[in-house]
Amino acid sequence: MKPFLLTLVFLFLSFLLCAKFLIVFLLLPSQKSGRVEIKVERGEPFSSVVRKLRDQGVIANEKIFSLWARLRGLDKKIHWGIYIFERPLAPEEILNRMLLGKGVFHRVTIPEGLTLREVAEVLANAEIVNKERFLMEANNPEILSRLGLDFEGIEGYLFPDTYYFTPSVTEKDVIVAMTEQFGSVFNLALEMQAKRLGLSVHQVVTLASLIEKETGIEAERPLVSAVFHNRLKQKIPLQSDPTVIYSLKSFSGDLRRRDLQNPSPYNTYRIQGLPPAPICNPGLSSLIAALYPAPVPYMYFVSKNNGSHLFSVSLEEHNRAVKTYQGTERRSSGR
């Protein structure tokens, strides 16, 4: 073979060797660890996707990763969706997941304080479940029995959180995931505290649901809890407006005197003690408040029309507060 050809062969083999070395070296997993979320928009350019992978520390080298994918003709085969990557992860695995759609998740956040029907609407709007099928499964005796909620029902146990569901998830899967999350949050320590208070888990969740609906202010939750605990001890009706609203077939936004006379078992103006079940799905903060009420003697509270409340010990103080902030003494006791 002529020296010129030998030189060309040598240079070509050297190039291949160097290229292989560079690809192997530069396509090593990122040195960062931890879980990250990458959202790939429908129709998003591959260059933008690779930039996100680099910025989140999923890949070590943006240019080499991009060149490697383009040379293989894979840059136009990426599926849109949300991907969860547990770093470090081999670049080959990263690319394969996005090609096959294996890592695609639908993300949905369930806020604190939603009712069962409202949770169903959020999930349906996120295109994760069929609303009617979800509500049907939520009342399925077989599922309730499996979850240990035969008599309690599912309301209160669909824990508010951010969830990641695959496109193939079923309504039953979603319910199980949310109730299992409740089970992991309401741990043994909280169960023991409930026993110390002489309350069942169901009673705690029910009380927490009232607290959740009464105030969105973190610092007020233990105070609201204290009012309810104090009233329960003295066998005074809780007189919680949200329980009345929950019992109504429709609510215009203005609670009327006749609404307070509704004979529903959820109407705490008419019944003594807690309603039979939660009126929404409370978050951890309200669950903790239900278990750890503030050590205060408050028996009443009234809205100050700015999201906060004024708390009172005596009925006389409370009536003055109602007059100040509500302009009427429509309630002679309670809230």
Whole-angstrom CA distances from 267 to 33, 245, 274, 327 are 51, 8, 9, 24
Q: Same domain for 119 and 160? A: yes
Can you tell me whether residue 160 is helix, strand or coil?
coil
pLDDT in tens, 176-190: 999 999 999 999 999
Return d(Cα 330, Cα 332) in angstroms, integer: 6
Whole-angstrom CA distances from 291 to 138, 186, 325, 329 are 27, 11, 30, 31
The answer to whether residues 179 and 119 touch, using CB atoms and an 8 Å cutoff, is: no
What pLDDT shows up at residue 19? Answer: 53
Question: What stretches of the chain show up as alpha helix (H) in DSSP?
Answer: 3-26, 46-55, 62-71, 91-100, 116-125, 131-138, 141-146, 171-185, 188-197, 201-214, 221-233, 241-247, 284-291, 315-326
**Number of C-beta neighbours around residue 35 at 10 A:** 8
The answer to whether residues 322 and 329 touch, using CB atoms and an 8 Å cutoff, is: yes
Q: Same domain for 235 and 202? A: yes
CATH assignment at residue 89: 3.30.1490.480
State the Cα angle at 120 between 153 and 288, rounded to 5°. 55
Per-residue tokens: 42: 């429908």
Q: Same domain for 293 and 213? A: yes
What pLDDT shows up at residue 250? Answer: 77
Does 322 map to a domain? yes
What pLDDT shows up at residue 79? Answer: 80
Domain-ending residue, one of 185, 214, 243? 185
Does 266 map to a domain? yes
What pLDDT shows up at residue 15? Answer: 54
Domain count, the chain: 3
Return d(Cα 312, Cα 327) in angstroms, integer: 17
Q: Same domain for 160 and 199? A: no
Amino acid at 230: N
Whole-angstrom CA distances from 243 to 191, 270, 275, 288, 331 are 25, 11, 8, 20, 16
Q: What is the chain's pLDDT, residue by residue, as a tens digit (335 residues)?
A: 555 555 555 555 555 555 554 555 445 555 567 788 888 887 889 999 999 998 988 887 888 888 888 888 888 888 877 888 887 788 888 888 888 766 777 889 999 999 999 999 999 999 999 999 999 999 999 989 988 888 889 999 999 999 988 877 899 999 999 999 999 999 999 999 999 999 999 999 999 999 999 999 999 999 999 999 999 999 999 999 999 999 887 777 777 888 788 889 999 999 999 999 999 999 999 999 999 999 999 999 999 988 899 999 999 999 999 998 876 544 433 55
Q: Same domain for 87 and 120? A: no
Return d(Cα 285, Cα 313) in angstroms, integer: 24
Which domain range does residue 201 map to?
188-326
What pLDDT shows up at residue 329? Answer: 45
Q: Same domain for 52 and 65? A: yes
Widest CA span in the chain: 110
Q: Same domain for 194 and 316? A: yes
pTM: 0.74
Virtual CA dihedral for 245, 248, 251, 257, nearest 10 degrees?
A: -70
Q: Same domain for 53 and 74? A: yes
Domain-ending residue, one of 185, 207, 224? 185
Domain-ending residue, one of 185, 217, 243? 185
